[in-house]
Amino acid sequence: MRSARCGRGLALEGTEAEKKAISLLSKLRNELQTDKPLLPLHDDWVDTDIWNQYLEDQHNLLNENDKKISWFQSSWLYVECYLYRRIHEALVLSSPISDFDVFKDSKDQNFLESRGAIEALCFYLQESKRTIEVVDENIQKDEFCKLLQIMLWGNKCDLAVVPGQSIPQTSSPLTILEGLKPFILVNNMDALWSLLLNKRKKSQENFSVIRVDFILDNAGFELVTDLVMADFLIASNLATEIHFHGKCIPWFVSDTNIKDVNWLITQLKAAESTYLSTCGLIWEDYLKKKTWVYHDHMFWTLPFEYCAMPHVAPDLYADLQKSNLILFKGDLNYRKLLGDRKWGLTIPFHEALNGFHPAPLCSIRTVKTQVQAGLAPGQGEQVADSNPEWMTSGNYGILQFDGGP
């Protein structure tokens, strides 16, 4: 009897929490639609003070007439990040559903709809691992480059542009790579290969660690492409440890957090296909043995451009300095790497990073926003001639490398 009453009490508490979250979210929508001033946060999350200080700084910086900073009158990058942080606030303030990820269903859906392509990829990975010790360097390079391109085109699968509309990967991703090559505007795959190959040669002499970091982007199909590459790097001794960096709160609809990683591994392990279940088991083991390490520093869900990292998150910057190669996935990471500024298209990538050089790094991104540097003279104009929407279509990609400090 007592436990039935207790159960009813919990259900009631849950319903009240849902109502509260929905009312906070509709208030947020109204503020946005009517260009109201941005408000300080009222929750007590680890980063609340940082966000409120940022708002105050923006206000002091941009507003001579003491007008409030509003949704349509502030930088797009800041306001967009603020939107996702306010969605998080609405949940945090609605205990006991504070941990609920409002985007989880759409992320899971993307994985489920891409199952065929994921199976093809896991099959390819296991076949190439079977022969890894006997094949020569050129074949390994070829496989490495294929997996890089799959990681790149996997970034088309974000859900932030058209929320709720998953872009599943239905056919085998490997068959379309050749046809997509002309759409890679900056292609530094050779530089990545040389860097890791040299590291491997040194490591075979002196047993040194080779650390590769993945600054993750979207869950679902894109995350699988990243994990497939991470597995290949370990199996081919091109890396000895992998560090993944995900988001600690639901972010830009489809971005990866730890629950997405765990859910993915559970799904793979339980799959009927042995290609999928083998991947699930191996990846779980890598995580257990710390060959793969997952991190979720709060800096990744703050509005700062990355050149601010040494001041805002010196611990994270110092950690990234230990890496031999950092792979930044996706469009939002690129915007933050370049401070969301409208650089001249031919300004060197190194310069546009504005002092952010923790280690050699590479952006792997399909171009979805008007932020781009490091193109060859005349290249931007030429692409614009054939496709005026080239910067927002997501049809072009870059694998853009910077050698570091």
Ligand X SMILES: O=P(O)(O)OC[C@H]1O[C@](O)(CO)[C@@H](O)[C@@H]1O
Question: What letter represents residue 81's amino acid?
Answer: C
**Considering the complex, what minimum distance in angstroms separates the CB of residue 247 from Mn ion?**
9
| Torsion of the alpha carbons at 326, 327, 333 and 337, rounded to the nearest 10 | 50
Does residue 218 belong to the site contacting Mn ion (CB under 5 A)?
yes
Would you count residue 32 as binding ligand X (CB under 6 A)?
no
Q: Which stretch binds Mn ion (CB under 5 A): 218-226, 259-267, 282-290, 391-399?
A: 218-226
d(CA 279, CA 120): 12
The answer to the question of residue 241 lying near ligand X (CB under 6 A) is no
DSSP letter string, 173-225: GGGGHHHHGGGEEEE-HHHHHHHHHHHHHHHHHH----EEEEE--BSTHHHHH
Choose among ligand X, Mn ion, none what residue 283 binds, the Cβ cut-off being 5 to 8 Å by kind: none
d(CA 289, CA 331): 31
By CB under 6 A, residue 368 contacts ligand X: yes
Figure out which of the listed residues 158, 260, 340, 402 binds Mn ion, where binding follows CB under 5 A: 158
Stretch 319-358 residues interacting with ligand X (CB under 6 A): 330-332, 335
402 is a site residue for Mn ion (CB under 5 A): no
Distance CA(155)–CA(152), nearest Å, equals: 6
Give me the least distance between CB of 330 and ligand X, in Å please. Answer: 3
> Quick one: 333 or 372, whose CB is closer to Mn ion?
333
Q: Say which DSSP state 85 is in.
A: H
For 290: left if phi > 0, alpha if psi spans -120 to 50, otherwise beta; the answer is: left
State the binding partner of 85 from ligand X, Mn ion, none, CB within 5 to 8 A by kind.
none
Name residue 287's amino acid. L
State the binding string over 269-298 for ligand X (x if CB under 6 A, else -): ------------------------------
Nearest to 38 by CA among 2, 90, 86, 105: 86
368 contact, one of ligand X, Mn ion, none, CB 5-8 Å limit per kind = ligand X
Contact positions toward Mn ion, by CB under 5 A?
158, 217-218, 252, 255
Contact positions toward ligand X, by CB under 6 A?
80, 155, 158, 160-161, 217-218, 252, 330-332, 335, 368-369
